[in-house]
Amino acid sequence: MTIRRMDNVLIVVDDLDAVIAFFVELGMELEGRSPVEGRWVERVIGLDDVRQEVAMLRTPDGHGRIELAMFHTPKAVSAGPRNAPANTLGIRRVMFAVEDIEGVVARLRTHGAELVGELADEDNYRLCYVRGPEGIVVGLAEPRG
């Protein structure tokens, strides 16, 4: 049996409102937001006394989704520095194809985002990494031509 699709990527955050605003500014659409708790979630994620708030965002084409979770209990723990370099082990970024990469970067800067390196031209794309709220890194790729 094979997988049907990749459904979503989970990002655990401290400031759910700020991270939602960042991804909405990027162009994602908020599908919903709700509290999540109970024995079923505790059994799935292997933690006790879970109380969290979850938001689901989707890309405009409806194929990609990001789930954001803010834990009330147990308190979230940090896996490392928020400004970890690109060669740090683990998931480092989520990449989005965009139009008008410079415009997207300018809009994200209004939410505190900064370029990780610089905007670079490659044969088929203009590319950059942007660090947003809570150190979340998104890659942006604008196809050429």
- pTM for this entry: 0.91
Quick check: 87 pLDDT over 80? yes
Q: Predicted confidence band at 94 (pLDDT cuts at 50, 70, 90)?
A: very high
Q: What is the pLDDT of residue 2?
A: 84
pLDDT digits (tens, 9 = 90+) for 47-65: 999 999 999 999 999 999 9
Q: What is the pLDDT of residue 91?
A: 85
Block residue for tokens 């985002």: 113
Q: What percent of the chain has pLDDT over 70?
A: 99
Q: What is the pLDDT of residue 1?
A: 66
List of long-range contacts for 92-95, beta carbons under 8 Å, 24+ apart = 92/137, 93/129, 93/137, 93/138, 93/139, 94/9, 94/66, 94/137, 94/138, 94/139, 95/138, 95/139, 95/140, 95/141
